[in-house]
Amino acid sequence: MGKRNVLLLGAGGVSHVAAHKLAQNNDLFGDIYLASRSLEDCEQILESIERKKNYKNTSQKIQIRQIDALNIPEMVKLMKDLKISITVNLVSVFCNMSILEACIKTGSAYIDTAIHEEPNKVCEDPPWYANYEWKRKNRCQDRCITAILGAGFDPGVVNAYAAYAKKHFFDVIDTIDIMDVNAGNHSRYFSTNFDPEINFREFVKVWTWIDRQWVCKPVHFEKKVYDFPVVGKQIIYLTGHDEIHSLSKNIDANSIRFWMGFSDHYINCFNVLRNIGLLSEKPVRTAEGVEVIPLKVVKACLPDPKTLAPDYRGKTCIGDLIVGTKDGRRKELLIYSICDHRLCYEEVESQA
């Protein structure tokens, strides 16, 4: 087989990094395309790649296209015209199913980083993957379509950590605690590290896997302090997350939980926004008769996560704390990664 053509969808912060990485490894692929609703955003990413001199093969530059990822016929035509073999979906999670459908129709492999959501449905009942993605598994299998779901860090790398631990270090796994902390400082009063709309939709209720069953808990209710490698003691809160839903199906463990670090300042700002209704996805009408969605207004007012990168300092720590037994003895293991905001910016002009 020849080298495979790649379609990278989206021009946000995650796509920015993926485009740099594709450029750094472009000798492994055929033609690489970056597509989004905004050609201007695509052009900014390509300018960043040029600034950092990140093309491995300088004769093979990434090309850009304009596309509406919700328009399945338009997606199918683009993928056929460009002879796409691999589609990397880094647009809004609201587009996941339309992009996957286009891949099924054209034969392209599919990769995404987060579970599909419907705009009018927030924090659906678990298991989340069963609501949309897994319903298409048989069609993918029948058409020999590879669909890799949740291929980010969490979900993604942390799933690989769990599988690696199961294979090499444990006979029986009791608990998997996925822990994600950002000990960096972006010097803004308040901001989310990725799309605020998607970020805040996670914090409506907490679905977690305890004693082999789904348990629903209040948001930011259960917390603890954990002493992490490199970044030290951090406050982490129990919350719901994508990988719990796939790991609970694929890893035999009694409990699987997700913990995320938040500062007191973040929690205070979040609580004010939530308590006065500004995190609602339901439309409201202003005194002037304008209909707005509060959550989208908050998103418009907060810094674009891409703009945080130049001033970000500090490190992140993300990993799996796994408890179980090996050869009849209790075993506890932390598999983790450290990432430095400044070094990330130096390499790909992105935050960690």
The domain that contains 66 carries what CATH number? 3.40.50.720
Does 107 fall in a domain?
A: yes
Could you tell me if residue 318 is inside a domain? yes
Average per-residue pLDDT in the chain? Answer: 95
205 and 330 together in one domain: yes
Distances (CA, A) of 64 to 11, 17, 37, 71: 10, 16, 11, 18
| Residue 321: per-residue pLDDT | 98
Domain holding 122, by residue range, is 6-148
Asked if the model's pLDDT at residue 142 lies above 70, the reply is yes
Please state, in angstroms and rounded to a whole number, the distance separating the CA atoms of residues 121 and 112: 20
Domain end position, chosen among 116, 148, 180:
148
21 shares its domain with 93: yes
Which of 114, 148, 182 delimits the end of a domain? 148
Q: What average pLDDT score do residues 212-224 get? A: 95
Do 17 and 92 belong together in one domain? yes
Average of per-residue pLDDT across 117-125:
89
Does one domain contain both 169 and 67? no
Q: Pick from 148, 182, 217: which residue ends a domain?
A: 148
Decide if 1 is inside a domain. Answer: no
Structure tokens at 175: 């608990």
* Tens of pLDDT, residues 311-347: 999 999 999 999 999 999 999 999 999 999 999 999 9
Better-scored residue on pLDDT, 193 or 245: 245
Q: How many CB atoms lie within 10 A of CB 168?
A: 9
Contact 22, 6 (CB under 8 A): yes
Residue 172, domain member (yes or no): yes
Do 198 and 292 lie in one domain? The reply is: yes
Please report the pLDDT score of residue 1 as a whole number: 58
pLDDT in tens, 227-274: 999 999 999 999 999 999 999 999 999 999 999 999 999 999 999 999
Domain count, the chain: 2
Q: Has residue 224 been placed in a domain?
A: yes
The answer on 108 and 252 residing in a single domain is no
Amino acid at position 78, single letter? L
Q: Which of 106, 28, 37 is nearest to 71 (CA)?
A: 37
And the tokens for 236?
Answer: 């982490």
pLDDT level of residue 306 (50, 70, 90 thresholds) = confident
Query: What's the pLDDT at 288?
Result: 95
Do residues 184 and 215 both lie within one domain? yes
Give one DSSP letter per residue of 175-233, joined into a string. Answer: EEEEEEEE--B--SSS--SS-HHHHHHT-S-EEEEETTEEEEE-TT-SEEEEEETTTEE
Query: Is there a single domain that holds both residue 87 and residue 215?
Result: no
The pLDDT assigned to 193 comes to 86
Does residue 180 have a pLDDT over 90?
Answer: yes
Q: What is the mean pLDDT of residues 149-163?
A: 97
pLDDT band at 188 (very low <50, low <70, confident <90, very high): very high
Instruction: Answer yes or no: is 79 within a domain.
Output: yes
Per-residue pLDDT at 123: 86
178 and 94 both lie in a single domain = no
Same domain flag for 245 and 177: yes
Residue 35's closest CA among 94, 93, 105, 87? 87
Do 85 and 182 belong to one domain?
A: no
167: domain CATH number is 3.30.360.10
Note the pLDDT of residue 115: 95
122 is a domain residue:
yes
187 and 122: one domain?
no
Does residue 319 lie within any of the structural domains?
yes
Residue 209 pLDDT greater than 80, yes or no:
yes
